[in-house]
Amino acid sequence: MYQKHTKEEWATAYKLHMEGYDSPSISRLTRLELSEIKRHIRLYRQTGVWQTERKKNVRSTPALRKAAVDAVLKESLSYAETVAKYDLSFCCLKKWLRKYRHGGYEELLAIKPRGRPPKMPKPKKSSNGMSELERLREENEYLKAENAYLKKLKALDQEVNAEMFGIGPRSSEN
């Protein structure tokens, strides 16, 4: 798993914060990003827990997404309070709010199909319940029968013409 910063770096940042250093000073001393330090300090003040690890991936349900978005919009909770209350990641909450603002609850609660889409579409069923392959096979059989019929018709026509003009073997009539 990729982690941008180690637990030790965040422990050092926590120690410096407890000693009274401000966010820019902590950022210079630990080489952590200032915005991340400010967010960690804000979360620490609201929850009382200094987070040193990344949030676990939470399998979100539509009810969780709706509750988190409602907490921000209707209950006027801050992002940090909502993240702490529902144990979410900050980025996840931002994505949900963006989806809600773009398309409302329909887009927020929509379930995206999982996996890679197929390269070849599945054969469609025609109106009589046959697949494309079955329909083509049936059509092929029909054309073969029609071809055989036309060959016999042509042979019969040639035979009639031969008798008419006296070409080919003659039948004995005497």
Encode pLDDT of 84-115 as tens digits. 788 888 888 999 999 999 988 888 888 778 88
Let me know the angle formed at the C-alpha of 110 by 109 and 112, rounded to the nearest 5 degrees.
135
- CA–centroid distance for 64 within its chain: 20
Task: Provide the pLDDT for residue 69.
Answer: 93
The domain spans of the chain are 1-54, 55-112, 122-168
Range 55-112 classified under CATH 1.10.1060: no
Q: Do the domains 1-54 and 55-112 sit in the same CATH topology, yes or no? A: yes
pTM of the model: 0.46
- List CB contacts of 90: < 8 A, sequence separation 6 or more: 39, 79, 80, 83
